[in-house]
Chain A
Amino acid sequence: MTDNILRPHEHIVYTEFDGREAVLVDLNTKRYYTLNETAMLVWRALESGRTKAEIAHELTVVYDVSVEHAADSVERLLASLAAHRLLRSGA
């Protein structure tokens, strides 16, 4: 897993609903996306500047999942978020 750090774009507004679901609104494209509970944890970790490996580890702490499985899941989600141009590379 390459560990270049990704960050949410500044024009993305993140709002949580009752801790189970969140919405991302892209102020540039005027589109919104829904995140499930697990994806919320990933998004918050990205906002905190964590690496992919750190996020995968955090998932294993909260959820019953192996670190390998968590790492694959994080990789897939980040690819999807990046495809929608919701993330940028950060140092």
Chain B
Amino acid sequence: VAEKKQFVEPTVSVPVDVLEATTFFQAPTIEA
């Protein structure tokens, strides 16, 4: 009736610093 899914061990990753993972937007500029 309902095939069960293959079991995968539940995992939580190592923490990542949000600020480190963020690339902040810089406005494109042109210099004369």
Contact = CB atoms under 8 A, between A and B. Distances in A.
B11 A65 contact: no
Interface residues of B, number: 17
Interface residues of A, number: 32
Contacts, number: 68
Contacts of A86: 12
Contacts of A3: none
Contact of A81 (B6, B8, B12, B21): B12
Interface of B: 4-19, 21
Interface of A: 24-26, 29-39, 41-42, 59, 61-65, 69-70, 73-74, 76-77, 80-81, 84, 86
